[in-house]
Amino acid sequence: MKHIDKPLHFLASLALAGVCAVAPAAAPSTERNFVACPIVLDTEDIPCWVAEYEGERYFLAVQTGRSAGVTFVPQLKHRVLVEGTVQPDAPRMCGGIVLGPVKLSVFPDVEPDCGRKLPGDGYKVTGPRPIGPDGVPPGGRSTAVRAARPAAPGRAQQEAQIRADAAAGKPREFEILYFFGSNYLPFPVEQASVDQAAEYFAATSGARVVVTGYRGEALLSNGSKLVEEQPLARQRAQKVADILVNFGVPKDRITVRWEDAPQNNHGVLDWTRRRVTVLGTR
Amino acid sequence: MNRTGQRVLAFSAIASVLIGCLALNTFAAGVTPGWWKESAGERFPLELRYPNAHGQVGIVSVAPVDTRGHPFFEPMGTNGRACVTCHQPANSMSLAVETVRQRWKEAGAQDPLFAMVDGANCPNLKPDDERAHSMLLKHGLFRIGMPWPPRDASGKPIQPEFSIAVVKDPAGCNLDAGFGIASSTPTVSVYRRPRMSANLRYVTTSFSLSGRFDGKTGLPLAIDPKTGKRVGLPIMSDARVTTLEDQARDAIRNHMQAAAPVSEDRIRGIVDFESQVYSAQVSHPLAGSFTASGTPKALGPAALRDGQAIVAGFNYNNPVFFSFDEWKTPQPGDTPEQAAFRASVARGYDVFFVRPMWISDVSWFNSIGMGNPYKRTCAICHSVHLTGNDISPGVMDIGVNNVPTTNASVDTADLPVFRVTCDKAAPGHPYLGREFLTHDPGRALITGKCFDIGALVMQQLRGLAARAPYFSNGSAKDLAAVVEFYDLRFDMKMTDREKQDLGNFLSVL
């Protein structure tokens, strides 16, 4: 496995200089990027998570569950970085303005008094998972409150497509996104992305695999900026590469790269820049 | 004591005994009831039953086993112990503290059970002194001496993310100059209960929502070198090994003090035996025999023998323990006491399966995307169909090991207390931070990771009535204490009737 510490410092400096020259003082008004202590509401039928910023309540998530596809709902005792786009036409949820898409990153440090659990205040929430067991009890009303969700292709179907693409030499690119400050691969989407990348590259022969890691910045609505620590780009890339090898991609076909400069999107979907890409080259 | 005479005791004999009066010593005096001594050479039949305070526990074997020379029943080390020493059929293939006490009365330190390596509070104490075995005699706890710092699979030291200091050492081994943390072979001694060596098909079969990933850690599942298959972390409290074969090797080396590895045939013999043995409570003095018609179909060991592993049970399609509706209303011929107890059990299953609570501050549960707190029921974690262990392989910290999250329901006075201090650069425990007290660092003694402190592998829920005390550290003396722990830990606000119902439900599993 090759490790290339790409000499991007000069280019990155230029880029950063350019960004700084044109960057707004804060995230655009369409965005709400802030750090807060979360609030969980004991709403009917399932709990609802909100946060407050500058006197306004924002809806963050409903309680889901791993088998429903985790959205990584917040945690009491931890601050959460909220990065979202205001949906002006969406009705409020749990009294909060709806952000969408929204990325929630739970900060690791414990703050015992951060966050509150409050009554549901009469709000009713529907979501993909109930409080009780899944499904319909015999002779009873379903406790499952299911939102309409598009049918996703099954794992077997996805894997078959990946193998077909690999056999046909069809190029594929894989992207893994991260929570702020973290190299954890959450279930299910990001784990599935790495799994699929391994499936694809293990089934191809000869193609070199380039794994590139990035770290990011989050431009907040109050104008301040959070920057991920410098080693994270390398750590993310190396971790993905190690997993690819564990999953059967030959080590000598993998090149690991990372970019030291933090990436941003000027306060709009900044979280899409905290990532690893996996590309094949001939 | 003739074990054969105990087999398949008629329920009528049990039912005639008042609740609470059915003690283990109702049988021949002088020998621990149902005790399987090493090298006894008896035949392990298709079915066994043994009395306990809640009725009878049953053991079913897929095939009879000739135990003469059998590696599960024969000592293979230097201290006279065999697997069966600590995995007794009468205790649902685990070991109840009452059985331990009885063995001390009958055989004292001569019984291999009390081998100084881990059957004593510390190996350097006087073997004949009862106080030297107080952890085992009072709480059913064996000493587990873990190297510090932890070692990886090749024996190479791992740089831990935390330091550990002894704050309190009632058993005396952690501060001992020869065996403690400051000794020439630094060792952290924690004290744990033996687990069931039955129903293992439900425990060891790998299941992952995440394919080749451990859905909790976000890392690849380990690979069983023998089969090449991905495996979870369901075996042993700290998941230090991933297969039953390695668990057997670990036990032979450490608990039996074998001087050399045993043959693969012997290992295979152990795994084959324990993989075909099923155990669960099989009758209750009030509820009756669980083989009778009209009994909820999850009850009794035969349900496990015939059931499907491994099925996710937190749903109405394959509920963890099917349904107890059969017992919700009186049946013709039921006595009032019988109907009342059965109805209580059925209500207890509802508490377990459908009563919501706020699950909070559980690392490797709330911390991996569920949210903290997370409102669901007992069965979201105790989710394996028919056994109630965790369908998602791996550990979690429910709070019973770490001092800030224990509560008055459990007895931890005799356990050691360590102060753990996490490095600033490392992620701390997700809810307790970077410095706190713990009775047992758990999985962190294997990984060296701060966020693993206190986390252990969940146990199955079968045969509970036969193997008190409970939790990995034996801190819950009975099922009422288990129920009380959860009520306080998660602020469930159960009524007295709900607590009684849940306890009754657990007692029949």
B159-210 pLDDT, tens digit each: 999 999 999 999 999 999 999 999 999 999 999 999 999 999 999 876 666 7
| Mean pLDDT for the stretch of residues A23-42 | 91
Report yes or no: B5 at the A interface, CB cutoff 8 Å. Answer: no
| SS3 category, B423 | coil
- Give CA–CA dist A232/B188, Å, rounded: 33
Inter-residue contact B490 to B425 (CB < 8 Å): no
pLDDT tops 80 at residue B420: yes
Question: Which of B286, B411, B404, B374 minimizes the C-alpha distance to B337?
Answer: B286
Distance CA A45, CA A93 (A): 13
Query: Rounded mean pLDDT of chain B?
Result: 92
> Given an 8 Å threshold on Cβ–Cβ distance, is A70 in contact with B370?
yes
ipTM: 0.90
Q: Is the pLDDT assigned to residue B27 strictly greater than 50?
A: no
d(CA B358, CA B26): 43
- Tell me the pLDDT band of A67, cut-offs 50, 70 and 90: low
Q: DSSP character for B162?
A: E
| Minimal CA separation from B323 to chain A, in Å | 10
Separation CA B55–CA B286 (nearest Å): 9
Measured from the Cβ of residue A92, the count of other Cβ atoms closer than 10 Å reads 13
**B430 in A contact zone (CB under 8 Å):** yes
**Element spanning A16, H or E:** helix A9-22
Q: What is the mean pLDDT of chain A?
A: 84
Asked if B298 and B290 touch (Cβ cutoff 8 Å), the reply is no
% of residues, chain A, pLDDT over 90: 63
State the pLDDT at residue A95.
96
Q: Which residues contact B76 (CB under 8 A, 6 or more apart)?
A: B82, B252, B256, B258, B262, B266
Residues of chain B with Cβ-Cβ distance to A135 below 8 Å are 315-317
pLDDT, position A134: 81
Top-confidence residue, A64 or A177: A177
**pLDDT score at A20:** 35
Beta strands in A109-171 (DSSP E): 116-125
Indicate the residue of B209, B354, B366 with minimum beta-carbon distance to A187. B209
What does DSSP say about strands A97-106 and A217-219: parallel, antiparallel, or unpaired?
unpaired
* pLDDT (tens digit per residue) in B317-337: 999 999 999 999 999 999 999
A140 confidence band (pLDDT: 50, 70, 90): low
Residue A135 confidence (pLDDT) above 90: no
Q: What is the pLDDT of residue A66?
A: 52
Query: Is a pLDDT exceeding 60 seen at residue B15?
Result: no
Q: What percent of chain B has pLDDT over 70?
A: 93
Model confidence, pTM: 0.91
Q: Which residue has the tokens 């007794």?
A: B88
B363-396 per-position pLDDT tens digit: 999 999 889 999 999 999 999 999 999 988 789 9
When mean pLDDT is compared across A58-67, A70-79, B479-488, the lowest value belongs to A58-67
Looking up tokens 């076909």 gives A253
Lowest mean pLDDT among B4-8, B263-267, B287-291, B448-452: B4-8
Q: Which two tokens stand for residue A238?
A: 């190396």
Q: Do A187 and B218 touch (CB under 8 A)?
A: yes
Partner-chain residue, chosen from B316, B367, B377, that has the shortest CB–CB distance to A75:
B367
Model pLDDT, residue B31: 64
Does A248 touch chain B if contact means CB atoms closer than 8 Å?
no
- Show the tokens assigned to A167: 């056999």
Mean pLDDT throughout A13-34? 62
Positive or negative torsion for Cα A21, A26, A28, A32: positive
| Min distance B433 CA to chain A CA atoms (Å) | 6
Residue A48 pLDDT more than 60? yes
Across the interface, of A72, A117, A138, the residue whose CB is closest to B373 is: A117
CA–CA separation, B428 and A77 (whole Å): 13
Q: Read off the pLDDT band of B5 (50, 70, 90).
A: very low
Residue B428's nearest CA partner among B415, B416, B444, B414 is: B444
Candidates A188, A190, A198; nearest CB to B209: A188
Q: What is the pLDDT of residue A10?
A: 28
Query: Which residues of chain A from 181 to 200 reach within 8 Å of chain B, CB to CB?
Result: 184-188, 190-192, 194-195, 198
Question: Rounded to an integer, what distance in angstroms lies between the CA atom of residue A131 and that of residue B374?
Answer: 9
- C-beta atoms surrounding A167 within 10 Å: 10
Give yes or no for residue A5 having a pLDDT over 50.
no
B424 touches chain A (CB under 8 A): no
Q: B157 - beta bridge partners?
A: B151
- Which pLDDT value is given to residue A163? 83
Q: What is the pLDDT of residues B104-130, one digit of tens each?
A: 999 999 999 999 999 999 999 999 999
| pLDDT computed for residue A155 by the predictor | 67
Which residues of chain B make contact with A198, given a CB cutoff of 8 A?
212
- Cβ atoms of residues A249 and A279 within 8 Å: no
Q: Where are the beta strands (DSSP E) in B350-489?
A: 357-359, 374-376, 395-396, 417-422, 435-438, 456-457
Cβ atoms A61, A49 nearer than 8 A: yes
Question: Which pLDDT score, from 0 to 100, does residue A279 have?
Answer: 95
| Residues with Cβ within 8 Å of residue B260, at least 6 apart in sequence | none
Whether pLDDT at A147 is above 80: no
Whether residue B12 is predicted with pLDDT greater than 50 in this model: the reply is: no
3-state class (DSSP) for residue A218: strand
Residue B233 confidence (pLDDT): 79
Which pLDDT does position A131 carry in this prediction? 80
> pLDDT class for A187, splitting at 50, 70, 90?
confident
Q: Chain A window 108-167: which residues touch B at a Cβ cutoff of 8 Å?
A: 108-110, 117, 131-138, 143, 155
pLDDT of the residue at A170: 85
Q: What 3-state class would DSSP assign to B450?
A: helix
